[in-house]
Structure formats: C-alpha cells, structure tokens
C-alpha cells in the first residue's frame, strides 16, 4: 500500500486469486461467452440494417441497444481475458480510467436506451393513431443521439474529478476498475466527487427508472381498459423490454451493494460472479431475448440461418 502519494502509476486488482491450471478453462469459458455476445449482437444488427421492413423506431432503438452491448463487452472482456492468464494482476492508471469510461458509459446508455424504448412503446400502445406523427425519424435521431451524448459527457466529468484526487493507495478489491473503488483510495477531500456521484446516479439511473415506471403505469391502464388485441400487442412488445430491464437492474443492484458495503462475508467467487453479472449476462441475454420474442426478427433470422428464401 502506498502512503502520501499524489500520483499512482498502476492499480492492483486484489480480487483475483490463484486458479492454477484452471485458469485456461476459465479463459476458454470467458472467450466463448465473448464470442457468443459478439455473434448474437452483430447478427441482429445486420438483420435490422439490411431489412427495410425493420427500419421502424422500435428496431432502431434496438440497434442502439445492441451497439451498446458490444461497446460494454469490449470494455470488459479483452481486459478480463488478459487478467485471467496473467500472474500479476495490475493495470496502468490510464487503462483503468479507460475501462471506467467504457463500463460506466455502457451502464448509463443502457438505462437511457431502455427508458427511450419504454417511451416508444407507450406511444405505440397508448397513442396508436398519433404514433407516426409523434415518433418521427428526426425525433428518433435526436433521442438516440441524446442517449449516447449525455452519458459520454457525464462520464468524462466523473473521470476528471476522480483523476484529480490525491490517492494514498493503489489496491482495488475487484476484478475490474470501478470509479468508487478509486474514490475510496483518496486521502484528499472527496466532497465534490460524492456530490457529483449522487447527481450522476439520480440522472442516469433514478430518472430513467421513474420514466419507465410512469410509461408502464400508462400502458397497464390501457391494457386493462382495452380489447384483447391491445393486450396481446402490449405483452408481445413489452415482455422482452421488461425482462431486459429487470435482468440489468438485478445485476446493477448487486454491483452497488458490493461497491458500497462490506461484502467480506460473501465467498470470493460469488462476489466476483455478482460483480460481473450485469456486464456479462446482459449483453448476451438481450439479443437472445429480443431475437426469440419479436416475431419479425425471429422469422428473418430463421430464414438467414436455415437458408430459406
């Protein structure tokens, strides 16, 4: 542990433990997972891009979601694969902050994207006659741009505040870099970091979740008062969205618990799996879920994979 240091050139990731020859098995498992994530997301991106019948707002928002899954996975998996094979689990300061940028941007964009998709479903189900006039191509472009631009700017500010801290240690008790883990190493005042961190959490997580809750309350009201066809449409289009939201929120909840509270009583392997859950399962879960549940995507994928015309 370092003391009275104003500059840290590297961080040590202490959550890794010696796995012996099993590290090659873990490497193959993680590599297989990464290849599946890339394959599933790229396949659906290609399907949506090359089929003009899928150039609708809902599918364009899905494209943004799939691109984000690829972005988040790339921020974690190559790093994880190197660390699994490495005997010295250290990471340079610049690489650590780069990973924080990728992971935190992924999380923020994911929540924003899910919120925008819930708004799109709200218009489609609750205002079907006005949908085309209210969800125009320009509006779709603006919503997708805001979904990405705000998180990028917010994370740059977050990292700038953390990078300016005076650190008195360089040991991170995780398998990847986290912003709060670095803030906890600071021996200088972290008041601004904590205030901005709270602001970031409210804007990037709480507000999108409140928007999603509001839209689904409206959708449920329409479903209960509408016809059977309306309920079937709501179920078919909202089920994958809700499942994706719950899965991501579940993983994020455990990540927050691990970052903010003492988890030493939890077995090390379980802590690692829970901290990686929302970064590993969500990127694979989302494309598979949408590919199976949305009939248009499912039928086109079946034709592509089976060679049917």
**Predicted pLDDT of residue 308:** 57
Q: How much is the pTM?
A: 0.89
What is the chain's pLDDT, residue by residue, as a tens digit (309 residues)?
Answer: 444 455 778 899 988 877 778 889 989 999 999 999 999 999 899 888 888 888 889 899 999 999 999 999 999 999 999 998 888 889 999 999 999 999 999 999 999 999 999 999 899 888 888 888 999 999 999 999 999 999 999 999 999 999 998 888 889 888 889 898 899 899 888 899 999 988 988 888 889 999 999 998 888 888 777 677 767 777 777 888 888 888 888 877 777 777 666 666 767 777 778 788 888 888 988 888 887 777 777 777 777 666 554
Give me the torsion for CA of 260, 18, 102, 277, rounded to 10°: -60
* Integer Cα distance of 110 and 151 in angstroms: 10
Contact in structure between 107 and 203 (CB atoms under 8 Å): no
* Integer Cα distance of 210 and 214 in angstroms: 6
**Predicted pLDDT of residue 1:** 43
Domains and CATH numbers, the chain: 10-306 (1.20.1070.10)
Tokens 């994530």 found at: 37
* Pair of tokens at residue 6: 């104003």
Pairs from 132-136 (Cβ < 8 Å, separation ≥ 24): 135/57
């Amino acid at each position: 542990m370092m003391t009275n240091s104003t500059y840290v050139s590297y961080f040590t990731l202490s959550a890794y433990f010696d796995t012996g020859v099993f590290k090659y098995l873990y490497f193959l498992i993680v590599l297989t997972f990464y290849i599946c994530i890339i394959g599933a997301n790229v396949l659906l991106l290609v399907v949506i891009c090359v089929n003009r019948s899928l150039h609708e707002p809902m599918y364009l928002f899905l494209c943004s979601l799939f691109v984000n899954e690829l972005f988040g996975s790339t921020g974690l998996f190559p790093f994880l694969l190197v660390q699994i094979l490495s005997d010295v689990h250290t990471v340079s300061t610049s690489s650590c902050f780069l990973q924080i940028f990728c992971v935190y941007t992924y999380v923020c964009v994911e929540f924003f994207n899910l919120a925008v998709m819930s708004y799109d479903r709200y218009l489609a189900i609750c205002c079907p006659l006005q949908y085309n006039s209210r969800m125009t191509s320009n509006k779709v472009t603006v919503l997708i741009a805001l979904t990405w631009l705000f998180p990028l700017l917010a994370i740059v500010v977050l990292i700038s505040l953390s990078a300016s801290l005076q650190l008195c240690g360089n040991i991170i008790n995780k398998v990847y870099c986290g912003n709060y883990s670095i803030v906890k190493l600071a021996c200088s005042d972290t008041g601004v970091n904590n205030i901005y961190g709270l602001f970031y959490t409210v804007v990037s997580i709480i507000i999108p979740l409140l928007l999603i809750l509001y839209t689904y309350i409206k959708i449920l009201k329409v479903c209960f008062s509408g016809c059977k066809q309306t309920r079937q449409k709501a179920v078919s289009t909202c089920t994958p969205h809700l499942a994706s939201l719950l899965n991501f929120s579940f993983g994020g909840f455990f990540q927050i618990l691990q970052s903010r509270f003492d988890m030493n009583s939890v077995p090390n392997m379980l802590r690692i799996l829970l901290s990686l859950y929302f970064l590993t399962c969500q990127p694979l879960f989302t494309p598979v879920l949408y590919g199976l549940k949305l009939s248009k995507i499912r039928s086109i994928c079946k034709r592509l994979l089976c060679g049917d015309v």
